[in-house]
Amino acid sequence: MEHAQNSEVLGEKIVTVLKTIYDPEIPVDIYELGLIYDVMVNEDNEIKILMTLTTPNCPVAESLPMEVEERVKSMNEVKDCEVEITFDPPWTQDLMSEEAKLELGML
């Protein structure tokens, strides 16, 4: 039970870090944009993040996942981090949080 609690706490800390990473073209962080599909934490504090990009030919297709990986790896509690990019399901504006839509004047 302790592991589940620790992973949840670590997962929340990771989300806090993800919220400091912005899509360079949109003034909203990648978490609120809905680009993060899943954050998995195993018992060794190895993290796997499943994320997408706004488009497959996004100009930051190379740098954004690396930034996510480096930022999460730099956390003390994290042993390792792997970022996997998926376009299934493809990103749509429906995945954005209310906050992000408000920020972009879409509400």
Give the mean model confidence (pLDDT) for residues 9-22. 96
In this predicted model, what pLDDT tens digit does every residue of 17-35 receive, in sequence order?
Answer: 999 999 888 889 999 999 9
What angle (nearest 5°) sits at the alpha carbon of residue 25, between those of residues 59 and 96? 110
- For residue 4, is pLDDT > 80? no
**Alpha carbon of 68 to those of 13, 21, 22, 46, 47: distances in Å?**
13, 7, 10, 14, 11
Tens of pLDDT, residues 45-74: 999 999 999 888 878 888 999 999 999 999
Q: What is the mean pLDDT of residues 77-93?
A: 95
Question: For the whole model, what pTM was predicted?
Answer: 0.90
Please tell me the predicted confidence (pLDDT) of residue 1: 54
Q: Give the residue extent of every domain in the chain.
A: 2-96
pLDDT at 70: 97
Q: What would the CATH number be for the domain defined by 2-96? A: 3.30.300.130
DSSP string for residues in 12-81:
HHHHHHHTT-B-TTSSSBTTTTT-EEEEEE-TT-EEEEEE--SSTT-TTTTHHHHHHHHHHHTSTT-SEE
